[in-house]
Amino acid sequence: MTLYTLYIVVTFVALFLFSAIKILREYERGVVFLLGRFWKVKGPGFIIIIPFIQQMVRVDLRTVVMDVPSQDVISRDNVSVKVNAVVYFRVIDPEKSIIQVENYYMATSQLAQTTLRSVLGQHELDEMLSERERLNIDVQNILDKQTDAWGIKVSNVEIKHVDLDESMVRAIAKQAEAERARRAKVIHAEGEMQASVKLLEAAKTLSQQSQALQLRYLQTLTEIAGERSNTIVFPLPMDLVDTLIEKSKRP
């Protein structure tokens, strides 16, 4: 009986030590409860938990990469799109992450989905496509503020894809093509305007100097003679034409 009792005691002590000794890694913390009430946060390293009196919940402090499922979003200009994103967050207060929320990962995921729909729904489609960085910051700030009570720090939010249906893709392509045509016409009109201004300035300069006008006339003749053409048109000065007309009218 003595050996049997000793065997039982040794087994009980071994089981007690096995269940009492905990080892936490560098990125882990243990939230310890004493008779159901919060006691302290322990770790990392070697700690002892008294069985049946103390309970410990492990908390991982590493950054979590959470994929936000594709969400149906209606933009401010009534365009339906599908948007998905990725959220980077980590636990900075183990006590709050266990006591203040039942499942901080699920809670952050659901909050990220609703926030993504809410923020993007306030913007037009063009803003979703061209100002994605600003939208990322807006979603991050809202999530970080609301998860602070849970001991969560949202470090980054990235919108990955904004998917459109085929009809919207064709409409956007037509819009882009029309915009390029509009810009080409505007640039051409601006070029014509600048050329007309320069031509007016050149005409004023030539009208002030008759020698310059004659030189320009001779240069034009040289350019026409250099071209390979069967027909050559010789421009005549208007003053010479007027003189010939006046002489023809005399009796």
Distances (CA, A) of 114 to 83, 94, 98, 109, 139: 12, 25, 22, 9, 10
* Coil/strand/helix, residue 209: coil
209 or 134: whose pLDDT is higher? 134
Binned at pLDDT 50, 70 and 90, residue 9 comes out as confident
- The rounded percent of the chain whose pLDDT value lies above 70 is 78
Boundaries of CATH 3.30.479.30 in the chain?
Answer: 64-164
Radius of gyration of the chain (CA): 42
Distance from C-alpha of 113 to C-alpha of 208, rounded to nearest angstrom = 75
Give the angle subtended at the CA of 190 by the CAs of 182 and 185, to the nearest 5°.
20
Cα gap 47→34, rounded to integer Å: 15
Closest C-alpha to 128, from 159, 90, 98: 159
Q: What's the CATH number for 64-164?
A: 3.30.479.30
Report residue 209's pLDDT band, with 50, 70 and 90 as the boundaries: low
Q: Which has more pLDDT, 3 or 47?
A: 47
Cβ–Cβ contacts within 10 Å for residue 125, how many? 20
Note the pLDDT tens digit of each residue in 41-87. 998 999 999 888 999 999 999 999 999 999 888 888 888 888 999 99
